[in-house]
Every structure is written in structure tokens, then in C-alpha cells.
Amino acid sequence: MKQDWKPGTLIYPLPAAMISCGSSPEEYNIITLSWLGTICTNPPMCYISVRPERHSYEIIKKNMEFVINITTQELAYATDWCGVRSGRDFNKFEEMGLTAGRASIVQAPIIEESPLNIECRVKEILSLGSHDMFIADVVNVKADEKHIDEETGKFSLEDAHPIAYSHGQYYDLGNRIGGFGWSVKKKDKD
Ligand SMILES: Cc1cc2nc3c(=O)[nH]c(=O)nc-3n(C[C@H](O)[C@H](O)[C@H](O)COP(=O)(O)O)c2cc1C
């Protein structure tokens, strides 16, 4: 038997990413978001959805830029903390001992400790209700060489132990099940 529930946002698991924003060190801030994702491959585009009452909202709206920093087990504490404290009251970089580094294209800082920093420039803002959706072009990606295999050049995020967010809980990723297309490959191996 299935129960009918009232409409709700139950698409999980999701990322819990740290979004860095601001165009000067005094303005730099970090907000944790789960309402974010990829919306186009070519051109590479993504979205974040932010409540207008967030401190970060005005910063992102003013600068029209932000960086999505992928989070890891090591960054899990800071990820949660930056999602329950406001930049109105704290300097989150300082409080969490995180390093604001230079992005290549946008003014917003990257979080150096994150293995992957996705630089974004806002194209359009959609007011949807509780949240505004920032639709953005990905203008650059910075990948930590620590996770790039010298021989193959392959970036392996698994080594960094990325985390996911599901129904109010954070998780590290479990066992690998198979690679893209494994279901239709002839051999049993993926
Ligand atoms: C796991 C997690 C996911 C979150 N996702 C969102 C989100 O998608 N949109 C949003 O507006 N707030 C989200 N929040 C809440 C903000 O991160 C939180 O209100 C934060 O304190 C705002 O910081 P700021 O005032 O410095 O901008 C999330 C919080 C957590 C812990």
C-alpha cells in the first residue's frame, strides 16, 4: 500500500554544497544550499534557489556571481555550520578556518579546502515563492590536483569523500554500483 502525501519537496538525496559569494573580503560569505543542480550541459548551466531573507541573497543579487564548492566528509561540520549561522553575525571563513582563494573568472572567492569549485555567473533570477531561483552559466571550474591521477589525468571525486544530504541527514557515499551504461554492457563487469 502507498500513502498519498501532500505535495512536498521530496527529491533526495541532494548535494549539500557551500556557496561562496561577495566581491571583497568584507563582503565574502558562505551559504550552505541543497536546492541546486545542473540544468544544461551545453552551455554548462546550473541553478541555486535561495530565500530572499538570507544574508547571501542580496550579495549574490548585487554581484550576480557565486561559486559552488563541492563538500566532503572533512568539510561536513563547516557545511552544516554555514547552513545554520548567518553572515550577518559571523565571518564564516574565519569561524570555520576556511581559506578564501581567488577564482579565475568571478570576483566571488573559492573555498580552497573544497576539491571542486564551480564558478558561476547569474543569467536570470526567477521569483518562485519561498525561494528565488538563480539561473547561472558555469564560467570556470577549478579542480584540486590532489585528486587528479598524474598518469590518466582523471579527476576522482570519490577520493575526496563527497557528501550528500537526504531528509535532514548528511551521508558519505556508499558502495559503487557500476559505471555509466553498465546495465547494457555485454560483460558482467561495468
Ligand atoms: C543542508 C542545508 C541545506 C540548505 N539549503 C538551503 C537552500 O537550498 N536554500 C536556502 O535559501 N537556504 C538553505 N539552507 C539554509 C541556509 O544555509 C541558512 O539559512 C544560512 O544560515 C544562511 O546564511 P546567510 O544568512 O549567511 O546567507 C540550507 C541549510 C542547510 C544546513
**Nearest CA owner, ligand 1 atom 16:** 83
**Nearest CA owner, ligand 1 atom 6:** 33
Ligand 1: residues with CB < 6 A are 16, 29, 31-35, 49-51, 54-56, 80, 83-88, 131, 165
State which fold the 14-172 domain adopts.
Pnp Oxidase; Chain A (2.30.110)
> In which order are the strands placed within the sheet that holds 169-172?
14-15, 163-166, 169-172
pTM for this predicted structure: 0.96
pLDDT in tens, the chain (190 residues): 999 999 999 999 999 999 999 999 999 999 999 999 999 999 999 999 999 999 999 999 999 999 999 999 999 999 999 999 999 999 999 999 999 999 999 999 999 999 999 999 999 999 999 999 999 999 999 999 999 999 999 999 988 999 999 999 999 998 999 999 999 987 655 4
Alpha-carbon span 12 to 163, nearest angstrom: 13
Would strands 29-33 and 17-21 be described as parallel, antiparallel, or unpaired?
A: antiparallel
**Core vs surface per residue 75-113: b (16+ CB within 10 A) or e:** bbebbbbbeebebeebebbeebebebeebeebbbbbbeb
| pLDDT digits 0-9 by tens, 40-59 | 999 999 999 999 999 999 99
The answer to whether 165 and 15 are in contact (CB under 8 A) is yes
